[in-house]
Amino acid sequence: MTSLETWTPGEHTADDLDGRQLTFPTYRKGEGPGVVVIHEMPGMIPEVIEFGEEVVAAGHTVVMPNLFGRPGQPMSVGATVRTAVQVCVRREFTKLATGQTSPVAGWLRSLAGELHAELGGPGVGALGMCFTGGFALAMMVDESIAAPVLCQPSTPFPVGRRRAADLNLSPADLEVVRERTARGCQVLGLQYRDDPATGGRFDTLTGELGESFIRVEFEGRGHGTVTTHRQQEGVDRVLAFFDARLRGVA
């Protein structure tokens, strides 16, 4: 099983968007341009750590925050249910509300800003997946984010057509995202075409961002595009996107 033994543990403290001070553990490894990899539900499963290792091997400094769950726990129905119950009572995450940005985005923006200030360059990458898939878009409000990647964004929970199409962003944050893409910051998205968890969000993103949204879709009803239902093409597209946006490699 992939472990975090070779990663350097730390923590980051910052306010969320509602002014609550949050502290979460972090794990860091590698050298080169920075990338924040945000784990999926139920947590930092071995496949997430393996993906982080791939980003490190591609020449990046990777920081993985542990927002919920037990690091290293394998994916299972039981673990997912237990984590979902815990997450549902935590105020820093929105679950069903539309037109709102998850408050934890403030903490994540602070983490990315600190990494960018340390490493320099055009900015850092941010990748969210599943429950955290849209967090990279919310982080893009901060200028430190130069390469946002959305893997199967699944929040708010797709109960009804309206929620299934929502981007988990406030109107003000969506306006900033539009303005940044108009200035050239692209957004990469990956999903399985028939994944019910992602709903109609890719259509919303295409409508809002136009050609600035790079839409990568795979056939079928899989879910974890770079983890449990990994597609090598998807991983390759992510790494190429980070190279292009963070190093200027065509």
Q: Is residue 1 part of a domain?
A: no
* Within-domain flag for 217: yes
pLDDT in the model for residue 2: 63
pLDDT band at 249 (very low <50, low <70, confident <90, very high): low
pTM of the model: 0.96
> What phi and psi, each to the nearest 5 degrees, are found at residue 151?
-100, 115
3-state secondary structure the chain: CCCCCCCEEEEEEEECCCCCEEEEEEEEECCCCEEEECCECCECCHHHHHHHHHHHHCCCEEEEECCCCCCCCCCCHHHHHHHHHHHHCCCCCCCCCCCCCCCHHHHHHHHHHHHHHHHCCCCEEEEEEHHHCCHHHHHCCCCCEEEEEEECCCCCCCCCHHHHHCCCCCHHHHHHHHHHHHCCCCEEEEEECCCCCCCCHHHHHHHHHHHHEEEEEECCCCCCCCCCCCCHHHHHHHHHHHHHHHCCCC
**For residue 177, pLDDT beyond 80:** yes
Q: Residue 154 CA to chain centroid, in angstroms?
A: 11
pLDDT range class, residue 1, cuts 50, 70, 90: very low
Q: Does the pLDDT value for residue 219 go beyond 90? A: yes
Confidence of residue 20 (pLDDT cuts 50, 70, 90): very high
Query: What is the count of structural domains for the chain?
Result: 1
245/237 Cα distance (integer angstroms)? 12
pLDDT exceeds cutoff 80 at 31: yes
Does residue 174 lie in a domain region? yes
Containing domain of residue 107, as a range? 8-246
Q: What is the mean pLDDT of residues 215-232?
A: 97
What pLDDT does residue 234 have?
Answer: 98
Mean local confidence (pLDDT), 19-34: 98
Q: 18-22, 48-52, 78-82 — which is least confidently predicted?
A: 78-82
Is residue 42 a part of any domain in this protein?
A: yes
pLDDT on residue 3: 86
Q: Which of 79-88, 89-98, 132-141, 200-209 has the lowest mean pLDDT?
A: 79-88
What percent of the chain has pLDDT above 70? 98
Task: List, for residues 234-246, the tens digit of each pLDDT value.
Answer: 999 999 999 999 9
CA distances, 235 to each of 52, 185, 226, 242 (Å): 11, 20, 6, 11
pLDDT at residue 166, as a whole number? 97
Render pLDDT for 134-167 as a digit per residue (tens, 0 to 9). 999 999 999 999 999 999 999 999 999 999 999 9
Q: Does some domain include residue 2?
A: no
Query: What CATH number is attached to the domain comprising 182?
Result: 3.40.50.1820
Average pLDDT of every residue of the chain: 96
Examine residue 3 and state whether it is found in any structural domain, yes or no: no
